[in-house]
Amino acid sequence: MEKINNINDLIQSSFISEKVRTEINRLKNISEHGRVRAYITVIKNEGRSDEQILCKQTPNQLQDDGRDDIHNAIYENQGAAAQLGFTHMAVSTDATGLPTSATTTLAGEIVSGGLERVDVDTTTHTTGTNTTLIEETYTASATHTAVQKGAIFDANAAGTMGHIYLFTSATLVSGDTLKVSLTVTLDD
Are 89 and 156 a contacting pair, CB within 8 Å? no
Are 152 and 101 a contacting pair, CB within 8 Å? no
In DSSP terms, which residues pair with 133 in a beta bridge?
124, 183
Query: Is 0.75 topped by the overall pTM?
Result: no
The tens digit of pLDDT for each residue in 52-84 reads 999 888 887 777 877 777 766 654 444 445 556
**Pairwise CA distance, residues 150 & 46, whole Å:** 18
Neighbours of 12 (CB within 10 A): 13
The tens digit of pLDDT for each residue in 91-147 reads 999 999 999 988 999 999 999 999 999 999 888 877 777 788 889 999 999 999 999
Q: How many residues does the structure list for the chain? A: 188
**Pairwise CA distance, residues 145 & 116, whole Å:** 14
